[in-house]
Structure 1
Amino acid sequence: MTPADSKAIPQRSDIEDKYKWNLTELYENDAKWEEDYKRAQEMLGKAKGFAGRLADSPEILFDCLKLRSDVSLICDNLHFYAKRNADLDHRVSKYQSMTDRAAMLISQAGAAFSFVEPELLQIDDKRLKEMAQEFPKKDLYDFYIKELIRSRAHIRSAEIEELLAQSILVARGPSNVFTMLNDADMKYPSIKDEDGNEVRITKQRYAKFMESPVQRVRRDAHVALFSSYKEHINTIGASLSASINNDVFYSRARRYESSLHQALDAINVPVEVYHSLLDTTEKNLEGLHKWIELRRKILKLDKIYPYDLVCPLFPEENYEVSYEDAVKEVTQAVESLGENYTSNLKRAFDSNWVDVYETEGKASGAYSSSNYSTHPVVLMNYNDTIDNMFTLAHEMGHCMHSFYSNKNQPYPKAQYTIFVAEVASTLNEGLLLQHLLKKVTDDKKKLFLLNQHIDNTFGTYFNQVMYARFELMIHEEVERGGALSPDMLNEIWHELTRKYYGPALSMDDYIQYKWARIPHFYYTYYVYQYSTSYAASQAILDKFLKGEEGIIERYLQLLSSGGSDYPISQLETCGVDMTTAKPFEATIKLFEDQVNEVERLAL
């Protein structure tokens, strides 16, 4: 069964197996998971045998680092299996409990090996480098040693490091509370769809209703969703405030100037990149303001509201896309990346790497999750929209990035940064758009696809810059000694919405609550990377379109480099310099040109 025509939310048992993950590839059953859990606990007991001995010889240091990597890999597997199963149905408490146990084990592992960095930092830089050169395998921990030396100033004593490691489990509390409220406990009212049918709102159905050509449906869905967040605004405000306080605590514990400095220093990105992104964009909002007004004119609305910002402007050219058709289009779109990439993408689609449809209790949205021992997986809540087809392309970009990274890097260097990850995902979206544009035979189709790309830039670049400004403002408020209240969060969001979207947008009573539904605010300074990555991917896409010699090989080299270098350097491999404003200015200029083209063709 596929749920495309069903008004009721399907149960997992209603979905055909070919549309579902097969997590037994990692653990045949829960009993095998328990065996690995016990094995990891036993391995942790060996950690203390290395304490105080790391400077004795390169062999002892290598063995300690290898043991930590081996434990980490098992912990990753345990958490992956439990969390993925939990995400398939948050009503099943067993897997939530297993997820919590895996998280606790990860915290225990961090505490067990917390002596490593403080002990290594008692060794001078020259000796550390010499020891690394004498490791039995020199390519496993070379980047780790380099990064350790760079971050020397922020590593604390062994006692403090142990306490910080043990505190991680407690620090997950705000995010866990929000996730359970947002995905499991919160219920939304019903509205009447375009045909007068009573339909209960879910987050996925809300997304589809936002694309409705009927403004009444969009408004009703908007009110239904955000009235539910309004009812829980005090709880959500408290959870977000606690999360921000966590960020500030850890930045101060590690002697950083601010939580922003800590977040960006983790991947060696200068804070100037963050400020350049925000400042450059905010100096160039005229094109975005023009787009909002142009939307109002094309939609023939007296006033344009927040729920009118993503519906297709040319609905007569819109069409539903089945999952099978989306797979076909995405596969064809990435053929320019070569046979190797395309064949591996087909393998992912054909081998249950994607859990496709929304079911009762399933985690909302979409994501890709990497597993070094088996393969990456993608969670979708596919609902036959063009937007979901682009989401599929996006998540498969992440998936293939993980696949190539895991294939070409040893486990300690396989995990790439989010800064680079979003390049792979948004480049796939760009390739899909170009693939679809090649099929255009008339201006109406071109308008529809230009609308799609403008909306992508609107959502992935401009919206995320606004979110990044919001995140910076609330962190700075706490760092100044202030407290975050729901009223303050509402006011900040309201004013930023007015600033970014401009005078053409009519504000309603519910837009101020939008911050409350965004889970990324619980991942410290995460959202800016969508914007920086989007700008980088547009620069790389331009190189593809111009046929720049060697760009395919350099791009695949980027995907295969994993976490073996810093992201700014990795992007330089493809000729993109993110320390300048040029990628941001070029992205904004392209957006403005496309807005002008839509205006020329549509009015």
Structure 2
Amino acid sequence: MNAFNSRQEVPEKEKWNLNDIYPSLEEWEQDYDKIEKLTEELHKFDGKIDDGNDLYDYLHKEEIVESLFGKVFVFAKLSGDIDTRETLAQSLTEKASQLGVKISAATSFFTPFLLGLDKSTLESFLREDSRLDYFKDDLYDAFRYKEHVLSKEKEELLSQLGETLSSPSRTFGMINNADIKFGEVTDEDGNKKELTRGMYSKLMEDEDRSKREEAYKAYYVPYVQLKNSIASTLSSAIKNNVTLSKVRSYPSALEKSLFGKKIPKEVYMNLIQTTKDNLKSMYQYTELRKETLGVEELKQYDLGVPLVTGVKEDIPYEEAYETMLDALAPLGKDYIEVLKEMKNARYIDVRETPGKRSGAFNLGLYGIHPFILLNHQDDINSLFTLAHEMGHAMHSHYSNKHQPQITAGYTIFVAEVASTVNEVLLINYLLKNAKSEEYRKYLLNHFMDQFKGTFFTQVMFAEFEMKTHERAENGESLNAEAFSELYEKLFQEYNGDALVMQEESKYGWARIPHFYRPFYVYQYATGFAAAISIANKILSGDEEVLENYLAFLKSGSSDYPIELLKKTGVDLTSPEPIKDALSLFAELVDEFSKL
């Protein structure tokens, strides 16, 4: 494994080239000044849009500002991600963020203005200027919110309350990121030291069970201690969401969350019900864990340790890239050629270096190209991360190439499809080419664990969110006891009787930041299921599905996400894609137990 002490040591070809956005800081500054001037011009439209021509001028100018701001912000962000300690990059990001606030303030009048129009007035504007055809779908989509918008005075009041309403989320963020002190664990020399999050994820994979137990108990110490405070922030966040839904005349908080992307409620209900009707394979998986690990009682700290050991192998970056290209060959020649070009043209920042932002992401910049951040570690996880992020990058590439700016971005609901299709094709390729039975078992274990985390756990979270919001809507109390009782019940239900619950297990709700972004996590599971359905059909040689999938990658947000997926043959309003995904999991468990 390559360990780099500084960015200078990393080969040039493994660093992204930010000159593709701005060859110099002077050019960044020029665009920054240009946006400031244009933002002032946007502000002057407030109260001055009287006809179709005015409306077009405003929207056209706003799109130019958005495009330029995208470049300015992304350049600043990516410069900072290279080394988070670098003060110049930090000041650029700060400046860009302040500019974003100015743009928001200058354009904040527009939505209330638009929704204050009669439909007939909007239609007359559209007739007056044919150039508005480009913006038509977006205008009508915004107009859907009309029945959920309040009077101007009430809207202003709500906007002033914005900071107060987001307070529970910010408070939890401060508790969870700044204030929490985990318990202590024993290091190699027998000394006690405070547990960190980074240490925790590593220790959960440790073969020494006593180390896992010690880390698990230390990790939950602050969450148990602070259960009442955290319950108060979560309860407030849920109640705020429920109150806003009522104030805006939505039937429920869930339907308010689904409204924006026109996701039918049955998609959410289907996901939960179909999963709960097919939990048998999940129970077999926990039984299998218990059996393979040879423990009398399976505990929560036994759920992350690999079931197959001693077969890890180094996969250098060059080899990982070639393996990925071979695995994704079923997606066609053009897909592979673009992936090769992305590597050669330095769209990817590969190596972990001091101060570099952790994790991995893809950022698709319209009119330029995608930028992919990795912290490649030459192992199997890094190979999967590479395939995952390049799936996002290809989605960005195709959508940006084939869509105008207004519909080039894709929604979270479909975002995980492109990345997971790549992972399913990769695991299929690796299993087909496994050098030994033991390595095949190792791969099956890797995929089963990923399946559990991305699908089953997220569905369980989705049900927890639904039930807690329903309780708030019915005026029932939401406190630490209520959250713990519900969480414990669901945790047992989704994992089966082979798992023996511990006192700490029921406080799992206290550590999940996603619960402050209501009804978000279910999209990981729906995206995962849709991707499995598509990948399996592509692997079976279904040319029509392949063609439709590539068309989907090119479609950005040109239609609502459910409709885009239907064009690939996946209908998430029916239980079928969920059943297909669950039957694949059953096959994985079955094969692993036979091996």
Bin of the TM-score, shorter chain as denominator length:
0.7 to 0.9
Q: CA 1:177 to 1:266, structure 2 compared with 1: closer, same or farther past 3 Å?
A: same
Deviations, residues 462-483 of structure 1 (Å, cap 9, x unaligned): 1110111122233334444566
Shift of 1:308: 1.9
Is 1:42 aligned with 2:37?
yes
Q: TM-score, normalised by structure 1?
A: 0.85
Q: Which residues of 2 match residues 362-511 of structure 1 at below 5 A?
A: 363-440=357-434, 442-481=436-475, 485-486=479-480, 488-511=482-505
Q: CA 1:361 to 1:526, structure 2 compared with 1: closer, same or farther past 3 Å?
A: farther
**C-alpha contact 1:437 1:446 (8 A) present in aligned 2:** yes
Q: CA 1:341 to 1:191, structure 2 compared with 1: closer, same or farther past 3 Å?
A: farther
User: What's 1:571 paired with?
Assistant: 565
Q: Which residues of 2 match residues 142-541 of structure 1 at below 5 A?
A: 142-161=136-155, 203-227=197-221, 240-241=234-235, 243-245=237-239, 247-248=241-242, 250-358=244-352, 363-440=357-434, 442-481=436-475, 485-486=479-480, 488-541=482-535
Q: CA 1:571 to 1:402, structure 2 compared with 1: closer, same or farther past 3 Å?
A: same
- What is the CA RMSD across the aligned residues, in angstroms? 3.7
Deviations, residues 88-121 of structure 1 (Å, cap 9, x unaligned): 5666687667656655544543443344334334
Q: CA 1:328 to 1:92, structure 2 compared with 1: closer, same or farther past 3 Å?
A: same
Deviates more, 1:66-75 or 1:351-360: 351-360
Distance (whole Å) between structure 2 residues aligned to residue 116 and residue 415 of structure 1: 21
User: What's 1:600 paired with?
Assistant: 594
Q: What 5-or-longer segments of structure 2 have no aligned partner?
A: none
Q: Which residues of 2 match residues 7-156 of structure 1 at below 5 A?
A: 19-23=14-18, 25-27=20-22, 35-54=30-49, 56-57=51-52, 59-85=53-79, 102-103=96-97, 105-125=99-119, 128=122, 131-132=125-126, 135=129, 137=131, 140-156=134-150
Deviations, residues 538-568 of structure 1 (Å, cap 9, x unaligned): 1111210221123222111101110110011
Shift of 1:407: 1.9
Q: CA 1:225 to 1:46, structure 2 compared with 1: closer, same or farther past 3 Å?
A: same
User: What's 1:553 paired with?
Assistant: 547
DSSP-derived class of the 2:524 partner: helix
User: What's 2:3 paired with?
Assistant: 3
Distance (whole Å) between structure 2 residues aligned to residue 482 and residue 38 of structure 1: 53
Shift of 1:287: 1.6
**C-alpha contact 1:397 1:428 (8 A) present in aligned 2:** yes
**C-alpha contact 1:90 1:184 (8 A) present in aligned 2:** no
Distance (whole Å) between structure 1 residues aligned to residue 342 and residue 332 of structure 2: 16
DSSP-derived class of the 1:550 partner: helix
| Partner AA of 2:212 in structure 1 | R
Distance (whole Å) between structure 2 residues aligned to residue 282 and residue 262 of structure 1: 24
**C-alpha contact 2:311 2:442 (8 A) present in aligned 1:** yes
DSSP-derived class of the 1:377 partner: strand
Q: CA 1:410 to 1:484, structure 2 compared with 1: closer, same or farther past 3 Å?
A: farther
Shift of 1:488: 4.5
Shift of 1:432: 0.6
DSSP-derived class of the 1:369 partner: strand
Shift of 1:269: 0.4
Shift of 1:344: 2.2
Deviations, residues 328-357 of structure 1 (Å, cap 9, x unaligned): 322222122122222222333344444445
Distance (whole Å) between structure 2 residues aligned to residue 240 and residue 99 of structure 1: 31
**C-alpha contact 1:83 1:99 (8 A) present in aligned 2:** yes
Q: Percent identity?
A: 39
Q: CA 1:185 to 1:82, structure 2 compared with 1: closer, same or farther past 3 Å?
A: farther
**C-alpha contact 2:183 2:221 (8 A) present in aligned 1:** no
Shift of 1:371: 2.4
Shift of 1:491: 4.1
Q: What 5-or-longer segments of structure 1 have no aligned partner?
A: 5-9
Distance (whole Å) between structure 2 residues aligned to residue 321 and residue 454 of structure 1: 21
Shift of 1:248: 3.7
Quick one: which of 573, 578, 586 aligns to 1:584? 578
Q: CA 1:381 to 1:346, structure 2 compared with 1: closer, same or farther past 3 Å?
A: same
Distance (whole Å) between structure 2 residues aligned to residue 80 and residue 204 of structure 1: 27
DSSP-derived class of the 1:317 partner: coil
Shift of 1:51: 3.7
**C-alpha contact 1:273 1:580 (8 A) present in aligned 2:** yes
| Partner AA of 1:596 in structure 2 | D
| Partner AA of 1:348 in structure 2 | M
| Partner AA of 2:136 in structure 1 | D
Aligned residues: 595
Shift of 1:533: 1.0
**C-alpha contact 1:86 1:95 (8 A) present in aligned 2:** yes
| Partner AA of 1:56 in structure 2 | D
Shift of 1:460: 1.3
Distance (whole Å) between structure 1 residues aligned to residue 90 and residue 554 of structure 2: 33
Shift of 1:579: 0.7
Shift of 1:433: 0.6
DSSP-derived class of the 2:581 partner: helix
| Partner AA of 1:413 in structure 2 | T
DSSP-derived class of the 1:440 partner: coil
**C-alpha contact 1:468 1:525 (8 A) present in aligned 2:** yes
Shift of 1:166: 6.4
| Partner AA of 1:583 in structure 2 | P
Distance (whole Å) between structure 1 residues aligned to residue 176 and residue 17 of structure 2: 26
Deviates more, 1:253-262 or 1:82-91: 82-91
Distance (whole Å) between structure 2 residues aligned to residue 75 and residue 249 of structure 1: 34
Q: CA 1:465 to 1:561, structure 2 compared with 1: closer, same or farther past 3 Å?
A: same
DSSP-derived class of the 1:71 partner: helix
Deviates more, 1:543-552 or 1:341-350: 341-350
Shift of 1:392: 2.6
Q: TM-score, normalised by structure 2?
A: 0.86
Q: CA 1:147 to 1:385, structure 2 compared with 1: closer, same or farther past 3 Å?
A: same
Shift of 1:592: 1.8
**C-alpha contact 1:183 1:363 (8 A) present in aligned 2:** no
Shift of 1:214: 3.3
Distance (whole Å) between structure 2 residues aligned to residue 148 and residue 563 of structure 1: 14
Shift of 1:396: 2.0
Deviations, residues 60-94 of structure 1 (Å, cap 9, x unaligned): 22221122222233444444344445555666687
User: What's 1:7 paired with?
Assistant: none
Shift of 1:424: 0.8
Deviations, residues 220-241 of structure 1 (Å, cap 9, x unaligned): 4434544465566667556555
Distance (whole Å) between structure 1 residues aligned to residue 7 and residue 481 of structure 2: 39
Shift of 1:279: 1.6
**C-alpha contact 1:62 1:136 (8 A) present in aligned 2:** no
| Partner AA of 2:392 in structure 1 | H
**C-alpha contact 2:255 2:265 (8 A) present in aligned 1:** yes
Shift of 1:34: 5.4
Distance (whole Å) between structure 1 residues aligned to residue 327 and residue 415 of structure 2: 19
Q: CA 1:437 to 1:294, structure 2 compared with 1: closer, same or farther past 3 Å?
A: same
Deviates more, 1:419-428 or 1:257-266: 257-266
Distance (whole Å) between structure 1 residues aligned to residue 364 and residue 338 of structure 2: 15
Distance (whole Å) between structure 2 residues aligned to residue 181 and residue 78 of structure 1: 32
